[in-house]
Amino acid sequence: MSVLVTQQAPDFTSAAVLADGSIVDNFTLSSLKGKKIMLFFYPLDFTFVCPSEILAHHHRVAQFAEKGVEVVGVSIDSQFTHNAWRNTAPKDGGLGKIDFPLVADVNHSIMEAYGIVHPAGVALRASFLIDENFDVRHQVVNDLPLGRNVDDMLRMVDALDFHTTHGEVCPAGWNKGDEGMKGTPEGVAQYLAKNADKL
């Protein structure tokens, strides 16, 4: 597995189903450069944990958009399977309409570039927060039975924005509105003097 944090996000061009339901052959990740991107991988369409995660992302698309973040999902299924899953109602195990692109990684090159291939030949549950400069700033990778907490990715977007705006670092459990910490010995001492018992 690769740790891509601090590195440029691997770019790709692939077929995808867009948020409006149209199918394109040449969706390119770098077309979103200049915005923050939340890129997430999941194993397979028409499976079990995956629709719960995709719907969790879908239900928070507006929150991501408010923070200037584009959401993109990827699996090894074809664009046609993605489309069929979008055209299946949630009560029947599908997604229904979702408000972000699903990319087809049929030849597995994207998950290989991101270093998150499961031994079974599908993608691990991996999420990457990519900044406006196309640098990976955060990643989390789960094994297949372990669903992600999408709210924590929103928290990480807030943390990145706070650091970018204020230059301070975000201590353990930091949430938007909390105090930050100056990245100095004095800063940590001041922060811990007030907050050590609450960590």
Q: Rounded to whole angstroms, how far apart are CA atoms 87 and 183?
A: 49
Radius of gyration of the chain (CA): 18
The single residue listed with the structure tokens 């923050």 is 36
DSSP per-residue letters across 89-153:
-GGGT---S-SS-EEE-TTSHHHHHTT-B-TTSSB-EEEEEE-TTSBEEEEEEE-TT----HHHH
Which of 50, 103, 126, 144 is catalytic? The answer is 50
Active site residue 170: no
Q: What is the DSSP letter of 9?
A: P
Is residue 5 within 8 Å of 137, Cβ to Cβ? yes
For residue 77, the tally of other CB atoms under 10 A from its CB is: 24
Active site residues: 50
